[in-house]
């Protein structure tokens, strides 16, 4: 995937998160929302075998690419926190903070790489 398209998707995801994103169900009001899977940027909704063409697949460690929700295993910080590991703690505020920081850092890195081209 081209970096400019990825950058656009990540900016959209960050805006979605800042507007309350996962705290407000917008797809299926009968169940809690899931990070990335319920994002407007997820085209496949983790349909079996579809996640390999996802914009986020390049961030997923190789050993997790075949998991049910690969994007939940993206390392989000230096401590190795992932959506999956933070879900285990039940700490939604930490998840929001860590995800926001990862999105901002990744967006900044992509913008810096874009300027070098």
Domain boundaries, the chain: 3-116
| pTM for the whole structure | 0.81
37 sits in the region (left: phi over 0; alpha: psi -120 to 50; else beta) called alpha
Residue 19 phi/psi, 5-degree rounding, is -90, 10
| Residue 74 to residue 83: CA distance in whole angstroms | 7
Q: Which residue has the higher pLDDT, 60 or 51?
A: 60
The answer to whether 65 and 52 are in contact (CB under 8 A) is: yes
| Residue 57 to residue 59: CA distance in whole angstroms | 5
Give the model confidence (pLDDT) of 56-95 as tens digits: 888 999 999 888 888 999 999 999 999 999 999 988 889 9
| Residue 13 to residue 6: CA distance in whole angstroms | 10
């Amino acid at each position: 995937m081209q970096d400019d398209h990825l950058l656009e998707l990540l900016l959209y995801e960050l805006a979605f998160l800042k507007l309350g994103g996962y705290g407000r169900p917008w797809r299926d009001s009968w169940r809690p929302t899931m990070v990335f899977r319920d994002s407007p940027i997820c085209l496949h909704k983790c349909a079996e075998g579809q996640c390999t063409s996802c914009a986020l697949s390049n961030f997923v460690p190789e050993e997790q690419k075949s998991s049910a929700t690969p994007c939940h295993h993206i390392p989000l910080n230096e401590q190795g926190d992932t959506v999956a590991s933070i879900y285990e703690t039940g700490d939604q505020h930490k998840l929001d903070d860590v995800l926001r920081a990862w999105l901002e850092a990744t967006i900044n890195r992509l913008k810096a790489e874009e300027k070098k081209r």
